[in-house]
């Protein structure tokens, strides 16, 4: 096996020499095609009349690539290859510090060098790989920045399918506005966002012009809405009762972050101005809450062997340093979960399939809360009483909508609610109505389907770009 310490210097040498005849095939080999059956292939099909999307940072799209593959030829690439192409140009990896660097500075020189290299690289790349547009899910990743900027220089439009649109509470509005102002201007041909709130923030920040941003709902929600309409098929499946906890970690922003001396004020031009200093003092009870939640699940799994208990983390979380907190939580519980045949860790499970097959869903600050709500599942939020009494509860996504869910006061109440909801899954009509309104507020899902709107926008942008003299 070739050692990393040998590979990296070799790659840097190839980049310095602009050895595109080697670099392009290396990147090409990392590109997969998402087929319309949801599978990936290293062998690329012919376009056959479909426009080709190159999706960057493909691990962040979740079900969006599956939706796009119905109407487009979808090639996709993780951040790894774009990352190692440009990392050698920078001493630090915060692209904004280079974008905003003064003319004549070392950072500005490094930025220009990286831009020039990527423009030349993509000129060769796009001559070998047929692409009509490139897509991203956010504007803040250094690995994506030069690729999309240089794509535009090579007459390949960049369309951002912005996915972090859950601006549910004030600080998320503030953070999105602040980040957009910090970046300055959108680099690309068009943005598609989930809801009007997200659009208004980008416009207020003067990040993008009105003609370059559209609201079209969430791609992955088309399949969810379709499944909801055919839910009777799922109910016929005989299986064990199932409880799913959608994993959250104790250092998530809903509990605040440790940043001594930082007390930012709101910058938004609309809405009430608030002091956000509370968010920069992490809630001291966050670890105890995290441990208590996992202890409750482990103890229930140990006691009730005929009920399946699922822990669903994101796949990237299992491999991250944050996973150590899960290991500690299980250790503190005193339960050897590896000996339980009804306890599972499922990082790669399809989220929607998992929700449908679950009898009870537990989650915190996640979109799965309102996705589960639309499906009609009993939903328990382990936002314990101590947390609700803290200043940091201000940043809990669903603070204004607690009446739509079951709220556990502590680990014992969590156990009680889970067992109760396994027996009684009735959701009152007024709660169902409120949940649907909540879902469509934040996803603004068109009745005709998001994929049709996305397809129309993407095709229009590509065609308009081709017509530019």
Same domain, 235 and 337: yes
The dihedral sign for the CA sequence 259, 262, 268, 273:
positive
Domain identity same for 421 and 457: no
Among 57-66, 233-242, 348-357, the least confident range: 233-242
Copy the structure tokens of residue 163: 């996915």
Q: Say if residue 23 is in the same domain as residue 105.
A: yes
Same domain, 270 and 148: no
Domain shared by 90 and 74, yes or no:
yes
Same domain, 417 and 287: yes
Residue 168 and residue 297 share a domain:
no
Residues 130-173: tens digit of each pLDDT: 999 999 999 989 889 999 999 999 999 999 999 877 777 788 88
Q: Both 427 and 455 in a single domain?
A: no
Domain that holds residue 423: 223-443
Q: What is the mean pLDDT of residues 349-362?
A: 93
Do 63 and 86 lie in one domain? The reply is yes
CA–CA gap between residue 452 and residue 289 (Å, rounded)? 43
**Alpha helices, H only, 230-285:** 231-235
Say if CB 111 and CB 91 are below 8 A apart: no
φ/ψ (deg, to 5) at 52: -105, 125
Residues 305 and 406 occupy one common structural domain: yes
Instruction: Report the number of distinct structural domains present in the chain.
Output: 2
Residue 264 · residue 256 · CB < 8 Å: no
Q: Are residues 164 and 281 in the same domain?
A: no
Strands (E), 189-257: 190-193, 213-215, 241-246
* pLDDT tier at 231, thresholds 50, 70, 90: low
What pLDDT, on a 0 to 100 scale, did the predictor assign at position 1?
A: 37
Residue listed under structure tokens 């900027």: 149
Question: The domain that contains 241 carries what CATH number?
Answer: 3.40.50.2000
Query: Domain check: are 302 and 182 in the same one?
Result: no
Entry pTM:
0.83
Average model confidence (pLDDT) across the chain: 90
408 within 8 A of 389, measured Cβ to Cβ: no
> Mean pLDDT lowest for which of 226-235, 249-258, 259-268?
259-268
pLDDT value of residue 267:
63
CATH of the domain at 55: 3.40.50
Look at residue 233 in the predicted model and tell me its pLDDT. 55
Q: Where are the alpha helices (DSSP H) in 280-428?
A: 286-303, 315-318, 324-333, 351-357, 368-375, 385-388, 411-423
Read off the pLDDT of residues 278-330 as tens digits, 9 standing for 90 and up: 888 899 999 999 999 999 999 999 999 999 999 999 888 898 899 999 999 99
């Amino acid at each position: 096996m070739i050692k990393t310490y040998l590979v990296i210097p070799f790659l840097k040498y190839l980049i310095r020499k602009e050895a595109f005849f080697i670099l392009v095939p290396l990147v090409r080999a990392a590109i997969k095609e998402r087929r319309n059956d949801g599978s990936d292939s290293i062998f690329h099909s012919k376009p056959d009349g479909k426009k080709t999307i190159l999706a960057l940072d493909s691990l962040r799209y979740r079900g969006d690539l599956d939706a796009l593959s119905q109407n487009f030829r979808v090639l996709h690439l993780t951040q790894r290859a774009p990352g190692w192409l440009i990392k050698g140009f920078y001493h630090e990896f915060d692209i904004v510090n280079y974008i905003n660097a003064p003319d004549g500075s070392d950072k500005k020189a490094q930025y220009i060098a990286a831009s020039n290299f990527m423009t030349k690289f993509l000129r060769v790349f796009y001559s070998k790989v047929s692409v009509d547009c490139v897509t991203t899910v956010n504007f803040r990743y250094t690995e994506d920045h030069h690729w999309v900027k240089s794509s535009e220089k090579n007459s390949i439009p960049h369309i951002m399918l912005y996915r972090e649109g859950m601006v549910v509470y004030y600080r998320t509005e503030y953070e999105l506005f602040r980040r957009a102002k910090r970046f300055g201007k959108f680099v690309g041909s068009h943005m598609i966002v989930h809801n009007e709130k997200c659009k208004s923030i980008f416009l207020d920040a003067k990040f993008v012009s009105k003609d370059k941003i559209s609201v079209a709902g969430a791609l992955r929600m088309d399949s969810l809405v379709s499944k909801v309409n055919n839910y009777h098929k799922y109910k016929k499946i005989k299986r064990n009762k199932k409880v799913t906890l959608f994993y959250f970690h104790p250092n998530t922003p809903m509990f605040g972050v440790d940043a001594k001396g930082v007390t930012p004020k709101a910058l938004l031009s609309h809405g009430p101005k608030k002091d956000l200093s509370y968010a920069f003092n992490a809630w001291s009870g966050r670890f105890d809450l995290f441990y208590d939640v996992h202890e409750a699940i482990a103890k229930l799994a140990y006691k009730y062997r005929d009920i399946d208990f699922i822990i669903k983390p994101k796949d990237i979380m299992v491999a991250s340093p944050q996973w150590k907190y899960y290991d500690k939580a299980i250790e503190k519980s005193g339960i050897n979960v590896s000996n339980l045949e009804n306890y599972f860790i499922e990082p790669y499970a399809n989220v929607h399939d998992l929700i449908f097959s679950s009898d009870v869903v537990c989650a915190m600050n996640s979109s799965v809360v309102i996705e589960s709500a639309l499906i009609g599942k009993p939903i328990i939020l382990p936002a314990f009483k101590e947390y609700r009494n803290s200043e940091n509860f201000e940043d809990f996504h669903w603070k204004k909508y607690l009446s739509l869910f079951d709220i556990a006061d502590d680990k014992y109440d969590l156990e009680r609610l889970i067992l109760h909801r396994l027996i009684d899954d009735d959701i009152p009509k007024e709660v169902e109505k409120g949940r649907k309104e909540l879902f469509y507020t934040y996803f603004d899902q068109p009745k005709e389907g998001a994929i049709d709107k996305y397809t129309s926008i993407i095709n229009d942008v590509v065609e308009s770009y081709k017509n530019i003299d």
